[in-house]
Amino acid sequence: MDGVATDRQRAFRRVNTPRSVRYWRRMADDDPLDDAERRWLRLVDARPDLAAAVDLQRVLVTRSVELLAQTRRIVRGASAAPADLLDRLARQRAPVLDLAVDLDVDRVLPFLLGFCDDFASGGAGDPARRVRAVLERGEIEPGSLLRASLARRQEAIRQRANHVGVAPDLVWLVAELAVGPVAWRLQHEALVSDASAPLAVRDALRDWSRGECPACGSWPALAEVRDGRRHARCSFCGADWLPRAEACVYCSAAGETFLAAAADQPATGRHIEFCRACGGYLKRIELPAATTFAILPVLDLETSDLDVLAVGRGYARPSMRPVAEPEAPCPEEA
């Protein structure tokens, strides 16, 4: 394929791209869905075995872009920046933000249920339909679930999902998809934006050298090497930071226990970081510019062969770091 959408794919995009997204894209300098479509076409051409995964991701990313266009209304001007933000950055203890802000749950709920439908149609079937059903019945209270996901309270979400008899990983995933764009908006405005993040905060963020995301505490999905510098990119909120160079992002091991190996030809700029100390790995990709938030999942899928290679050698991505669990996200009385 030559990277240009076929008539069938253009028709799919016209039918499945909501009006609000089309308006938002006309107002934007770049069209993330056009970029994504070119990438998906190249990926399926090179790896036909990923066609089903691309079909599902096309629907999920389109819905995510629509949600991203509404995040300002969803957070209602709320800020995730605590009063002691500079102190938290100086102490380098993640997360530095209080992401579980007040949301307009009514605006998010259609997206949360829509992601359930996407997975039901994309191969998850009855398990995804059951997740939607317990959300609609309030057995898992949507607002509580969304706030728990923003706060990265994975264990509490899993416990509640198990209690009501639905797949915990699927509940975690649909909630993460529904609040990921919100988390991106909150961290961008609190830590990055020239218009809303104080200069002192932006300067302090440049000194963040830990492996976990400063904003939410999640591990990076991958590392981008830009202008010779290794940038970690958060798997949840898309934050961009500079972890300690030539050291494992998970355990900080360096020296002989840490290795960055070329995944194929060195000229491709694709590497995998292996840590013999903790058994973790991280994909490292050389890129000319930062990947936009909406495209990060596409880049992750494009480089999924590196995940297969690393896992085949016995390495793994560690579980999310545990966070404080002050209350159950989906209480019994809900």
pLDDT in tens, 192-225: 999 999 999 999 999 999 999 999 999 999 999 9
Give CA–CA dist 108/118, Å, rounded.
15
pLDDT grade, residue 330 (50/70/90)? low
pLDDT in tens, 61-109: 999 999 999 999 999 888 999 999 999 999 999 999 999 999 999 999 9
**Which of 147, 143, 149 minimizes the C-alpha distance to 168?**
149
Give CA–CA dist 196/85, Å, rounded.
14
Q: How many DSSP H helices and E strands does the chain contain?
A: 14, 6
Q: Are 195 and 254 in contact (CB under 8 A)?
A: no
Give CA–CA dist 248/244, Å, rounded.
8
